[in-house]
Amino acid sequence: MSSETKQILTTDGIPLEVSLKKAEKKNKIKAFLLVAPLLLFLVITYIFPIGDMFMRSVDDRMVTNMLPKTFKAMEKWENLEELPPEEVYRGFYEDYKVLVEKQEHGKLGQRLNKEKNGFNTITKRLFRQIKRNKIDESISIKDQINKIHKRWRNIEFWLAIKRTAPPYTMAKYLKGMDMYVASDGSIAQVDEDRRIHRILWLRTLEIAFFVTLFSFFMGYPIAHLLATLPMKYSNLLMICVLLPFWTSLLVRTASWMILLQQQGVVNDFFVMIGLVGDDNRPEMMYNKVGTYVAMTQILLPFMVLPLYSVMKTISPSLMRAGKSLGGTPFVAFWKVYFPLTIPGIGAGCLLVFILAIGYYITPALVGGASGTLISNQIAFHMKTTLDWSFASAMGLMLLTGVLVIYWIYNKLVGVDNIKLG
Amino acid sequence: MSKNPEFVKFDKVDKSYDGKVLVVKDLQLDIAEGEFITMLGPSGSGKTTCLMMLAGFETPTHGEILLDGNIISNIPPHKRGIGMVFQNYALFPHMTVYENLAFPLRVRKVEKDEIDKKVDKALSMVSLSGFETRMPAQLSGGQQQRVAVARALVFDPAVVLMDEPLGALDKNLRESMQYEIKHIHESIGVTVVYVTHDQSEALTMSNRIAVFNDGKVQQLSNPAELYEKPVNSFVAEFIGENNTFNGEVVDIDKDKCKVKLANSEILANPISVKSKGEKTTVSLRPERALINPTDKMDNMFTGNIEEVIYHGDHTRVRLNLLGSSEFILKVPNSTSNLELKVSQDINIGWNSVDARALDPK
Ranges of each domain in chain B: 8-233, 241-358
pLDDT of A2 > 60? The answer is no
pLDDT tens profile A119-166: 888 888 888 888 888 888 888 888 888 888 888 888 888 888 888 878
Best of A323, A324, A333 to disrupt the B interface (most B CBs within 10 Å) is A324
Among A315, A326, A335, whose Cβ lies nearest the Cβ of B90?
A: A315
Contact B244, B283 (CB under 8 A): yes
Element (DSSP H or E) covering residue B42: none
pLDDT tens profile A294-351: 889 889 989 998 899 889 888 888 988 998 888 888 998 999 999 999 888 888 998 8
Quick one: average pLDDT of B159-164? 90
Average pLDDT, chain A: 84
Closest alpha carbon to A417 in A338, A318, A340, A351? A340
d(CA B224, CA B207): 10
Where do you find CATH 1.10.3720.10 in chain A? Answer: 197-417
**Cross-chain residue pair B86–A339, CB shorter than 8 Å:** no
Contact B221, B37 (CB under 8 A): no
pLDDT of A55 > 90? The answer is no
Q: Which residues pair with B319 in a beta bridge?
A: B305, B327
A50 to chain B, any CB pair closer than 8 A? The answer is: no
Question: What's the gap in Å between the CA of A318 and the closest CA on chain B?
Answer: 5
Grade residue B350 by pLDDT with cuts at 50, 70 and 90: confident
pLDDT of B27 > 80? The answer is yes
**Cross-chain residue pair B90–A320, CB shorter than 8 Å:** yes
Task: Select from 3.40.50.2300, 2.40.50.140, 3.60.70.12, 3.20.20.140 the CATH code of B241-358.
Answer: 2.40.50.140
Q: For A336, which residue in chain B has the nearest alpha carbon?
A: B92
Residues whose CB is less than 8 angstroms from the CB of residue A236 and which lie 6 or more positions away in sequence, other chains included:
none
d(CA A230, CA A225): 9
pLDDT of A415 > 80? The answer is no
d(CA B275, CA B272): 10
Grade residue B337 by pLDDT with cuts at 50, 70 and 90: low
Burial of A47 (0-12, 13-18, 19+ CB in 10 A): exposed
Closest alpha carbon to A19 in A30, A8, A29? A8
Percent of chain B surpassing pLDDT 90: 8
Q: Which residues pair with B209 in a beta bridge?
A: B38, B221
d(CA A204, CA A193): 19
The A residues from 332 to 371 touching B (CB cutoff 8 Å) are: 332, 335-336, 339-340
pLDDT of A238 > 50? The answer is yes
d(CA A224, CA A346): 16
Among A317, A332, A335, whose Cβ lies nearest the Cβ of B88?
A: A317
pLDDT of A4 > 60? The answer is no
Q: For B93, which residue in chain A has the nearest alpha carbon?
A: A340
The answer as to CATH 3.40.50.300 being correct for domain B8-233 is yes
pLDDT tens profile A343-397: 888 889 988 998 898 888 888 888 777 777 888 888 888 888 888 888 888 888 9
Question: What's the gap in Å between the CA of B277 and the closest CA on chain A?
Answer: 51
> To the nearest 5 percent, what fractions of chain B are helix, strand and coil?
25, 35, 40
Burial of A95 (0-12, 13-18, 19+ CB in 10 A): buried
Superfamily of domain A197-417: MetI-like (1.10.3720.10)
Residue A326: list chain B partners with CB under 8 A.
78-79, 81, 104, 107-108, 155
Furthest-apart CA atoms within chain B: distance in Å: 76
d(CA A146, CA A135): 12
d(CA B47, CA A282): 60
Q: Which residues of B51-63 are buried (b: 16+ CB within 10 A; e: fewer)?
A: bbbbbbbbebeeb
Coil, strand or helix: which one is B114? helix
Which of A89-103, B99-113, B330-344 bottoms out in mean pLDDT, i.e. has the lowest?
B330-344
Coil, strand or helix: which one is B222? coil
Q: What ipTM goes with this model?
A: 0.78
The model's pTM: 0.76
d(CA A239, CA A243): 6
In sequence order, what DSSP letters do the residues of A2-65 get, joined into one string? Answer: -SPPPPPB-TTS-BHHHHHHHHHHHHHHHHHHHHHHHHHHHIIIIIHHHHHHHHHHHB-HHHHH
d(CA A161, CA A167): 13
Residue A272: predicted pLDDT? 86
d(CA B177, CA B157): 21
pLDDT tens profile B187-223: 888 899 999 888 888 888 888 999 888 888 888 888 8
pLDDT of A1 > 80? The answer is no
